[in-house]
Amino acid sequence: MDSIEDTYNIAKTQYEQYGVDVDKALETLKKIPVSIHCWQGDDVGGFEKSNSKLMGGGIQATGNYLGKARNISELKQDLEKVLSLIPGNHRVNLHAIYGDFEKNFVERDEIEPSHFHSWIDWAKKNEIKLDFNPTLFSHPKADEGFTLSSKDEEIRNFWIEHIMRSREISAEIGRQLNDTCIHNIWIPDGMKDITIDRYGYRKLLIDSLDRIFSKKYSDKYILDSLEGKLFGIGSEAFVVGSHEFYLSYAIKNNLLLTLDSGHFHPTESVGDKISAILPFLRGLVFHISRGLRWDSDHVVILDDELSQITEEIIKCNSLDKIHIALDYFDASINRIGAYVIGARATLIGLLKALLYPFNVLKGFEEKGKYFQRLAIIEEVKKLPFGSIWDYYCSINNAPTGMDWIKEVEDYEIKVLKNRK
């Protein structure tokens, strides 16, 4: 600890030369929760026992690494391990297919809060907050590529009821945990090739959403968000719930909007969208992912895109309106390691942004001192950021440096290898 604290103090002094309050940055970071997605733990399989399909609906996990969670108990065990390796206090993000269905299978339009009581009890015990998502994929009634915008009224009503029940579950989670549960809606609706009646499908989606949101809940317990997409597997030509569609609907109906960093064209800047749309929205939800050539949900790393997103989040000074979650699934590597790499990368990105001398640079910009602005941007790249991160980990009882890697390796030997 002494060496970590010593190097921290040296680094802190260097940052202070640029007008950065390091202690304030660490205090702020500790207040930013990241919602850890449950579906990395079992490759988006869920725990339904009947009438479900393996993936589908634009969802695909690749790989078959050992140790996949096979039930709720194993997934909770894995999440506890993950959270122990991440500094700070964080959340867990559930999908509807992860309920307790071991005793009796129920269809998705029949799910109830009782199917998630074990998760709520677990969250209370571990002092964790929960978020929730309806599951509109991996199901026979999603086979034709349409759910909420389906022209088959029976199918559309089925999925409307599923989401209405998901909202009820989310509200109950929020009530029991005394914290707002973020309820995020993503649907796979779209077509593989040329689509004639785009307007018709979108009118149906509007009607479905209007019916879903006709029931009101207290903001204290649930906030609804809509997640758009550029394209998906089987919806390359047309996505009903596009970014523009949901942006418009969210503004009109005072809802949150979810930006998934893998759901846009590779040349689009997701970070640049924040300041453009946040002033008009109730709030933003981020699903931090990493697309490689397409929306491939690779494990999040600290790349340029993540850095820009986290910088813009901090620059906007609106953390009360922004909710951060992870969304990726890699079955080709140790799943616990995948979790921790992505979560720590996101937190590192946020800390780097909090340590960035925005005020100094903004001052140069407003005075037209663009040479000085560019010079400081380059000088800041040399600051010893890693010393600040290691100190933050140490004071939050999380492993520093490469120590966490050894813990994951030991967990694989003692736990994951015993899962057949």
- The C-alpha R_g of the chain, in whole angstroms, comes to 22
Residue with tokens 């906030």: 223
Active site residue 365: no
Give the pLDDT score at 58.
Answer: 58
Residue with tokens 């609906």: 57
Give the span between the Cα atoms of 84 and 396, in whole angstroms.
10
Give the pLDDT score at 384.
Answer: 96
Q: Which of 159, 186, 389, 404 is catalytic?
A: 186
Q: Which of 189, 305, 311, 327 is catalytic?
A: 327
Active site residue 189: no
Give the pLDDT score at 197.
Answer: 98
Give the pLDDT score at 61.
Answer: 83
Q: Which domains does the chain have, with CATH numbers?
A: 1-20+357-420 (no CATH), 32-354 (3.20.20.150)
Pair 224, 185: CB distance under 8 Å: yes
Give the span between the Cα atoms of 159 and 190, in whole angstroms.
15
pLDDT in tens, 15-48: 999 999 999 999 999 999 999 999 999 999 999 9
Q: Print pLDDT tens along the chain (420 aa).
A: 579 999 999 999 999 999 999 999 999 999 999 999 999 999 999 999 755 555 555 567 889 999 999 999 999 999 999 999 999 999 999 999 999 998 888 999 999 999 999 999 999 999 999 999 999 999 999 999 999 999 999 999 999 999 999 999 999 999 999 999 999 999 999 999 999 999 999 999 999 999 999 999 999 999 999 999 999 889 999 999 999 999 999 999 999 999 999 999 989 999 999 999 999 999 999 999 999 988 899 999 999 999 999 999 999 999 999 999 999 999 999 999 999 999 999 999 999 999 999 999 999 999 999 999 999 999 999 999 999 999 999 999 999 999 999 999 999 999 999 998
Q: Which of 37, 68, 183, 229 is catalytic?
A: 229
Q: Which of 42, 131, 172, 260 is catalytic?
A: 260
Q: Which of 48, 227, 311, 330 is catalytic?
A: 227
Give the pLDDT score at 62.
Answer: 84
Beta bridge partners, 92, equal 36, 130
Give the span between the Cα atoms of 288 and 327, in whole angstroms.
6
Active site residue 414: no
- Classify each residue of 175-188 as buried b or exposed e, where b means 16 or more C-beta atoms within 10 Å of its C-beta: bbbebbbbbbbbbb
Active site residue 229: yes
Active site residue 42: no
Q: Which of 48, 189, 297, 412 is catalytic?
A: 297
Q: Using N-to-C axis directions, what is the helix angle for 385-395 and 22-30, rounded to 10°?
A: 50
Q: Which of 162, 287, 323, 352 is catalytic?
A: 287
Q: Which of 37, 90, 95, 263 is catalytic?
A: 263
Active site residue 295: yes
| Closest alpha carbon to 250 in 222, 223, 271, 268 | 223
Active site residue 327: yes
